[in-house]
Amino acid sequence: MKIAVLIKQVPDPNALRFDPRLGDLVPGIQPVANEYDLYALEAALRLREQVGGEVVVASVGPARDALNRGLAMGADRAVAIEGEGVPGDSWVTATVLAAWLRREQVDVIWCGQETSDSGTGNVGPTVAALLDVPLVSNVVGWEFRDGLFEIEREIEDGHQFQEVAPPVVLCALSALPQPRLPTLRGIMDARRKPQERLSPADLGLDPEALDPLVRWEGLSQPVAKAAGIVLQDVPPDEAVEQLLAFLESRGLLT
């Protein structure tokens, strides 16, 4: 079985800091693999252990650290798609990934439910639509038996069970088994595993046609809410006075 895992490299969500002077994130934040994508990769590695075959990790945009992590965890090879036209918006990213997946003829596509930076959740569903294959989102459990996946997915007020045959796109949540940590042996082996660099043009795409449908205008930080007051164990008369003073200080009393 050929299993593809879509991995995005994101700035470490625990180290994110916004610089209002730049109007952007503070540069130089350690890049990491998107968390849900590591759960997707763990699922792919377990599927390969069960049915055999190959696991390929792929990324659009700069992703050396994330792809190396994937190889060190046990993926067989990695593909980085970079160059003119990418990353664009989530439609462009999905279009480029779909072109690569069509060329690879994969049986199963694992991806994360969403990323920790842009987090649109669009890429998985758009890839499935472009490849005209089914998609199962919010995956929290799975079994593969007799050529069929039995999937457990999270819904609003419980879990739903679905059955689906490959080819399929499966979007992972972090309720799946914990991603394995790369071993020293895994990190060493990763250096010898094949890493392919492709451009959208190599996939038969015209970079000119990869025009993002959504353009980023800029980033801003939510306005910090003014601190409120807590009136506790205060005699009622005094509480009323303090409340009136508070409302007045904010121009809320006419």
Ligand X SMILES: Cc1cc2nc3c(=O)[nH]c(=O)nc-3n(C[C@H](O)[C@H](O)[C@H](O)COP(=O)(O)OP(=O)(O)OC[C@H]3O[C@@H](n4cnc5c(N)ncnc54)[C@H](O)[C@@H]3O)c2cc1C
For ligand X, the binding residues (CB under 6 A) are 6-8, 34, 36-37, 59-61, 87-90, 93, 111-112, 114-115, 117-124, 212, 214-216
Token digits of residue 204? 């038969």
In the bound state with ligand X, the residue whose beta carbon lies nearer, of 104 and 246, is 104
State in angstroms the smallest separation of the CB of 199 from ligand X.
14
State in angstroms the smallest separation of the CB of 251 from ligand X.
39
Q: Exposed, middle or buried: residue 120 (CB in 10 Å: 0-12, 13-18, 19+)? A: middle
In the bound state with ligand X, the residue whose beta carbon lies nearer, of 118 and 195, is 118
State in angstroms the smallest separation of the CB of 119 from ligand X.
5
State in angstroms the smallest separation of the CB of 49 from ligand X.
21
In the bound state with ligand X, the residue whose beta carbon lies nearer, of 35 and 246, is 35
CA atoms within 13 A on the CB side of 12: 8
State in angstroms the smallest separation of the CB of 162 from ligand X.
19
Q: Rounded to whole angstroms, how far apart are CA atoms 171 and 110?
A: 6
In the bound state with ligand X, the residue whose beta carbon lies nearer, of 202 and 246, is 202
The DSSP bridge partners found for residue 18 are: 25
Residue nearest to ligand X (CB): 112
Dihedral, CA atoms, 148, 120, 181, 135, nearest 10 degrees? Answer: 0
Q: How far is CA 178 from CA 78, 117, 122, 173, in A?
A: 21, 21, 24, 11
Dihedral of alpha carbons 114, 120, 121, 125, sign:
negative
In the bound state with ligand X, the residue whose beta carbon lies nearer, of 87 and 182, is 87
